[in-house]
Amino acid sequence: MQYLKHLYKNNFRNKQFKIYITFFIIQFIFLFSCKNIDKPEKIKMNECLVNQLESKAKVISFDQQDGLNSEKDGVKFYEGYFNAEIKFIANSGIYIAGDSYKIIKGTILFMKTENGWNCQSFDFSKTELIKINDSSDNHEKVATQNSLQNEEQKNTSQTQATEPQINKNYTEYNIGLYQVGGSNIKAYFHNLPDVNTKRKGYLVSFDRVYVEKVNKEFGYVTFTNPNNVVTKGWIKMNLLIAE
């Protein structure tokens, strides 16, 4: 290129030579550009991914990466790499509708035809997917949990109204202040007065709670931590000591 510039500068008065050199440079740039864009466009790859996913998931974002050209029996192929974000709209194996995932360097195979690049395949089973923690989903889960807790409290109130004798049958446990007894004790919360509804949260030895009501061997307690965060739920009364 430096040589061409030198010739161009020294012969700028020669109009014919100037036209020839300009045409040569344009041809060179055109051929070089064609060589570097010999691959499907981003919109083509995105469209291919959408069609391959069909009714499983929708494409939220798409980012075209590098790729690999190859040729077999005179036919040109292209492995296009990409990153994308998808959201499932239907359950598919271990994937649940509503969950979002990132595709890390997915691969789509294309074949060159007279009409351009033709999408061949996208192997979903060999694609690396990373689940995205959606804060909106978390808010929805929290809202659902709160709704279930309110419903449980409502049902408990109705039960107390229709069966007020339940608590009276277990007079060994009284309403009032208690603390978790013993050492190295974990008193787990339950959603209902039932051992099959145990939560992940628990109290430890000497934590103080207020028992609002009793249902057989369970007490519905209120616990306030040092940060004034209140937690409510059912705990086994045999793990508590009255103050």
Looking at residue 188, what is its pLDDT?
Answer: 95
Average pLDDT, the chain: 78
pLDDT in tens, 73-98: 889 999 989 999 999 998 887 888 88
Average pLDDT of the residues in 179-187: 86
Looking at residue 182, what is its pLDDT?
Answer: 75
Distance CA 194, CA 156 (A): 13
pLDDT of 135 above 50: no
Looking at residue 144, what is its pLDDT?
Answer: 45
Average pLDDT of the residues in 209-238: 92
Burial 140-160 (b: 16+ CB within 10 A, else e): eeeeeeeeeeeebeeebeeee
Q: Look up tokens 């934590």; give the residue.
A: 207
Other Cβ atoms within 10 Å of 79 Cβ, number = 15
Average pLDDT of the residues in 137-154: 50
Q: Is the pTM of this model over 0.75?
A: no
Looking at residue 7, what is its pLDDT?
Answer: 54
Average pLDDT of the residues in 143-172: 49
Distance CA 106, CA 153 (A): 48
pLDDT of 134 above 90: no
Identity of the amino acid at 73 = D
Identity of the amino acid at 204 = V
Looking at residue 166, what is its pLDDT?
Answer: 35
Average pLDDT of the residues in 166-194: 79
Looking at residue 162, what is its pLDDT?
Answer: 42
For residues 233 and 7, the model is more confident at 233
Average pLDDT of the residues in 209-222: 93
pLDDT band at 114 (very low <50, low <70, confident <90, very high): confident
Contact in structure between 209 and 179 (CB atoms under 8 Å): yes
pLDDT of 107 above 60: yes
For residues 135 and 104, the model is more confident at 104
